[in-house]
Amino acid sequence: MKRRRPGGVFASVSFLIFFVSKLNNGDLAVSVESVTPQKLSAVEQFEKHRAAYGLHKRLYMILFWAAFFIALTLSVLQSEFSIIKVIDALPRTGSFIHNSFAVFSGWDNIGPELADWYWGIGKWADAVFVSLLMAFTATVVGTTIGGLISFVASSNLMSNYPLYFVARRTLEIARTVPDIVWAMIFIYPFGVGPLAGVLALIVHTTGAQGKLFSEVNENVDFKPIEGIRAAGGNWFEEIRFAVYPQVLPNFLSYSFWRMALNVQAATVMGFVAAGGIGYELITAIKLMYFLDVGAILLMIIGTVFVIDMVSEKCRHYFIGKENLGQ
């Protein structure tokens, strides 16, 4: 490292003394006086614009919070939400929970009492298995279709606006209609059973996954795409070699998350006779078989717990492996 020579320091100090002396003598007064009004005018103009911007920003914030609290108040009034009603219903909720779960007399009789509680374990397990198959089929098919459409529905990847518009609106229609409504629609042509539930989950999964995937696509690094394009690659090659490797970890994460979500949604499909464990649950609720309701709920909760843990392990494994590959 070179040391600065003392001569440079002395020269700088000498120049500073010379400049101050000239300023005190008035030699630079003309130039300073000629520039100062313009600078002050520019500063005043800047401060004026900044004050106006701050005023508009505060006004917008006031309007936003006013609209938020008005909407919240209307929502509470319209939904008849009341803390007093919630507190009054707590004893009845506790009674329902108490009636829905068996109370064992002791460890000596826990086996027979548990067997009596889960008297329908065979058909309930079959219904849970059907719900799992429905969720798995819907996740695989819906994620595949939604993933393919997402590339067309990404504004940074699709230059053909009509195709982009059609893809966006298709995904919006698919995900806007609730899955249980899709199930009721499909029951009419396909009849009561798991097929209507699977089709409903596929349509809704396609819309939801396509929306999530398109947002992931719009955040990719564009440099690899430009490299493929400069080498003469077409649109499909840009997606395959530049976009897909970047979005794959997020695609996998959303897919495993959607699998767990579809297991829960498949339960609700049974409420409209679209197959799965939900049909057994709604039947027990209608007949007021509270012990059966508790047993089925525990099976559903346990199944969701297992699915969540398996999905988490798979997600960490595949995403970690992909990151190491990068």
Write out pLDDT tens, residues 187-200: 989 988 889 999 99
Write out pLDDT tens, residues 232-257: 889 999 999 999 999 998 898 899 88
pTM above 0.75, yes or no: no
Per-residue model confidence (pLDDT) at position 28 = 46
Task: At 64, list the tokens.
Answer: 């936003």
Please give the residue that has the higher pLDDT: either 278 or 47: 278
| Length of the chain measured in residues | 326
Please give the residue that has the higher pLDDT: either 152 or 10: 152
How many CB atoms are closer than 10 A to CB 272? Answer: 20
Rg (CA), the chain: 33
DSSP state, 108? Answer: G
Assign 134 a pLDDT band (cuts: 50, 70, 90). Answer: very high
Distances (CA, A) of 221 to 224, 228, 239, 243: 7, 13, 12, 8
Mean pLDDT, residues 285-299: 90
Percent of the chain with pLDDT over 70: 86
Residue 104, judged by CB atoms within 10 A of its CB (0-12, 13-18, 19+), counts as middle
Per-residue model confidence (pLDDT) at position 51 = 83
Distances (CA, A) of 62 to 76, 192, 223: 21, 52, 41
Please give the residue that has the higher pLDDT: either 113 or 22: 113
Assign 208 a pLDDT band (cuts: 50, 70, 90). Answer: very high
Assign 40 a pLDDT band (cuts: 50, 70, 90). Answer: low
pLDDT exceeds 80 at position 75: yes
Fold of 118-325: MetI-like fold (1.10.3720)
Per-residue model confidence (pLDDT) at position 18 = 53
Per-residue model confidence (pLDDT) at position 241 = 92
Please give the residue that has the higher pLDDT: either 241 or 39: 241
Assign 31 a pLDDT band (cuts: 50, 70, 90). Answer: very low
Assign 150 a pLDDT band (cuts: 50, 70, 90). Answer: very high
Per-residue model confidence (pLDDT) at position 117 = 87
> In angstroms, rounded to a whole number, what is the distance separating the alpha carbons of residues 154 and 116?
55
How many CB atoms are closer than 10 A to CB 130? Answer: 21
